[in-house]
Chain A
Amino acid sequence: MSGDEPGKAPDQRAVDESPENAPATLDPEVRAVGARHGMFGTKGSGDTSGYGGLVQPVVYPGLARRPLDGWHEEVASALDAALAAAGVSDAVEGIVVHRGEITFHVRRDGLPAVARALRDDPSLRFEVLSGVSGVHYPDDKDRELHAVYHLLSMTWNRRIRVEVAVPDADPHLPSVVATYPTADWHERETYDMFGLVFDGHPALTRILMPDDWPGRPQRKDYPLGGIPVEYKGGTVPPPDQRRSYN
């Protein structure tokens, strides 16, 4: 092998440039949000495993193609028709079907119309809003904060999810309390934990945390907190600072 000759650099290319190690092209069916680096959660120390350089995209299920299967298509087309009648046919950005659950991604300005259509249209009839849940995706650029609504139709015995994404810089979205009064406390909790501002909410105040609490605890940039614990001469760091797999 030529690389064995003294004074001459090996003609083998660097490992990450070789074609076998090029990252696989992404399936168009998925949506990449950020990347996962390394494997053992260590940062700043020498990497002896070789896994520290590992970079993998974080991929979420991508948008579904119409027509969908079964009752999903019935709901999707009924919603399309109802939104067209309401004059906001572009309110739905896309639909994700994953593990049998359907998620409608909705533009924030279209949310009140979507909620009203979902509740009132006879072929939709999602009478019950089960809850509102916030999720913070720091790597989802300009869509960092998501509000996720779980809806239930007792008439049709169906469940759907409505998801609204807003940028961290402008965390405003309309409240659905006017349509679903049960959203009152749920939106307050999401505001409390993520700082999502639900415009039009009758009294948007903190609900679980004290009124003067600084910060939004469920955001990813908010630390878990905790102190190191000494035990039998050793020190155990708090859970968010322990070495872990990512």
Chain B
Amino acid sequence: MTADQDMYASSTETTEGRVFTVSGQDWDQIAEGLAEDDSDRIVVNMGPQHPSTHGVLRLILELEGETVTEARCGIGYLHTGIEKNMEFRSWVQGVTFCTRMDYLSPFFNEATYSLGVERLLDIEDQVPEKADVMRVLLMELNRISSHLVAIATGGMEIGALTVMTVGFRERELVLDLFELITGLRMNHAFIRPGGVAQDLPPGALDEIRAFVALMRKRLPEYAALCNANPIFKARLENVGTLDLEGCVALGLTGPVLRSTGYPWDLRKSEPYCGYETYDFDVQTWDTADSYGRFRIRLNEMWESLKIVEQAADRLAGLEGAPVMIEDKKIGWPSQLAIGSDGMGNSLDHIRHIMGESMEALIHHFKLVTEGFRVPAGQAYVPVESPRGELGAHVVSDGGTRPFRAHFRDPSFTNLQATSVMSEGGMISDVIVAIASIDPVMGGVDR
């Protein structure tokens, strides 16, 4: 090896052919090396640390020139054993783990798990109304923040950096609301079996209304920037197409399915948390391509704003109503309060259990150390996450910990369409097709 050669970007001979390790500024070496080969066939290993693969996703692309003849996904780089870990914690603690799976839509992870546990406990009718409204409010705000990231990173991956900066600008406003309501920007563990962890803090409704008003001004900016933008349309239109039959066979749901014109939305078809009482429309498009999925996400944000407004109006009339189930054997007793040094234990609650009520202390102790028991059986209550059908298969053996919790994550299922969406197209369109699926690798690998 001579001094001007990069020791990390060398080529090696293997039984499969010559392998190049690309590390940048070494195109001359690769071009020279390939010139010796008479075949046009190249296998490119893209990722798992590539900035345009939408996360730690590895793509194995077989190319003829610039055309993709075969595309395969390598996943698992973000597998953290969340489902296994949940088997060693109590039912309530499970929320803390599953919220971290699909990190762009934490409330949906918590909601589908909590709904499954509630069905097994047979307490679906006892969840207070205010908890349901707060769940809907948080999920719809979360849908907006998730779609903003989908549009923002999708734009960034095709080089539209302004779309990225405006998308993250608005997303930050949603995360500020989450911080105000739950105390955390992400990984909230806020929706729990039996209700939600906290009541709405004072002033939250005003902040939410201000956000909705601001978003109504800002969302048209996205439409003005992208909808008719010739470059944007040229990159997205007729790219990553998948028709209804393909979607159903491959189990695709969410914006990808709705971009075929089929209005399938679990909020309408199998309403949960009282979605049937809100006024909103299911958004569809008829092009079955990446552009249609972009427009659906944009339109769904408008619908989510409508739901958020309705939820805020209901919450205004529910001041002081309970947010956790009445049953003292299930409802998490501990309360947090904002003190001078941030969020911490509620002194009122400590005074109550330590000084006023022996029963409250016992319930607190039993629930925090042992947790509650869930009758044996299994449940599956899917929700419509920003990416499609998200469901938790919750299995109990009657104990204080989940016997098995398996998440049917829409990113995992939808990513299977990578091959069919990108084979036969250009390599640059692979990026667009994957961005239109909007997979979140935390959810894919769990």
Query: A residues within 8 Å of B by Cβ?
Result: 33, 36, 58-61, 98-101, 103, 127-131, 133-136, 148, 150, 152, 154, 157, 159, 161, 180-182, 184-186, 189, 206-210, 217-218, 224, 239-240, 244-246
- Is A209 within 8 A of B79, CB to CB? yes
B81 at the interface (CB under 8 A from A): yes
The interface residues of chain B lying within 8 Å CB-to-CB of A239 are: 85, 88-89
- Is B378 within 8 A of A148, CB to CB? yes
Interface centre among A101, A184, A217 (most CB of B within 10 A): A101
Given contacts A131-B391, A161-B380, A182-B413, is CB(A99)–CB(B248) below 8 Å? Answer: no
The interface-forming segment of B51-59, B127-135, B398-406, B421-429 is B398-406
The interface residues of chain A lying within 8 Å CB-to-CB of B403 are: 135
B140 at the interface (CB under 8 A from A): no
- B122 CB to nearest chain A CB (Å): 6
| Interface pairs A-B: 7 shortest CB-CB | A182-B251, A131-B408, A133-B406, A208-B76, A208-B79, A133-B393, A239-B88
The interface residues of chain A lying within 8 Å CB-to-CB of B75 are: 207-208
Q: In the complex, A239 Cα to B82 Cα: how many Å?
A: 13
Q: Which one, B81, B119, B249, B395, contacts A180 given CB within 8 A?
A: B249
B250 at the interface (CB under 8 A from A): yes
Given contacts A59-B398, A154-B248, A208-B76, is CB(A240)–CB(B393) below 8 Å? Answer: no
B94 at the interface (CB under 8 A from A): no
Chain A residue with the shortest CB-CB distance to B78: A208
The interface residues of chain B lying within 8 Å CB-to-CB of A159 are: 270, 380
- Is A182 within 8 A of B393, CB to CB? no
The interface residues of chain A lying within 8 Å CB-to-CB of B389 are: 130, 152
- Is A182 within 8 A of B416, CB to CB? yes
Given contacts A60-B376, A210-B76, is CB(A182)–CB(B270) below 8 Å? Answer: no
- Is A130 within 8 A of B382, CB to CB? yes
Query: B residues within 8 Å of A by Cβ?
Result: 75-76, 79, 81, 83-85, 87-89, 119-120, 122, 248-253, 264, 269-270, 369-371, 376-380, 382, 389, 391, 393, 395, 397-401, 403-404, 406, 408, 412-413, 415-416, 445-446
- Is A245 within 8 A of B398, CB to CB? no
- Is B395 within 8 A of A135, CB to CB? yes
- Is B251 within 8 A of A224, CB to CB? no
- Is B379 within 8 A of A101, CB to CB? yes
The interface residues of chain B lying within 8 Å CB-to-CB of A98 are: 377-378
The interface residues of chain A lying within 8 Å CB-to-CB of B83 are: 218
Q: 9 pairs across A/B with beta carbons < 8 Å? A: A36-B397, A60-B377, A130-B391, A131-B251, A135-B406, A150-B391, A182-B249, A206-B76, A207-B76
The interface residues of chain B lying within 8 Å CB-to-CB of A134 are: 406
Q: In the complex, A101 Cα to B370 Cα: how many Å?
A: 28
Chain B residue with the shortest CB-CB distance to A148: B393
Q: In the complex, A189 Cα to B76 Cα: how many Å?
A: 10
- Is A244 within 8 A of B406, CB to CB? no
- Is A224 within 8 A of B84, CB to CB? yes
- Is A208 within 8 A of B393, CB to CB? no
The interface residues of chain B lying within 8 Å CB-to-CB of A217 are: 81, 84
- Is B248 within 8 A of A128, CB to CB? yes
Q: In the complex, A35 Cα to B285 Cα: how many Å?
A: 54
Q: In the complex, A186 Cα to B406 Cα: how many Å?
A: 11
- Is A99 within 8 A of B119, CB to CB? yes
Chain B residue with the shortest CB-CB distance to A99: B119
- B123 CB to nearest chain A CB (Å): 11
- A58 CB to nearest chain B CB (Å): 5
The interface residues of chain A lying within 8 Å CB-to-CB of B400 are: 244-246
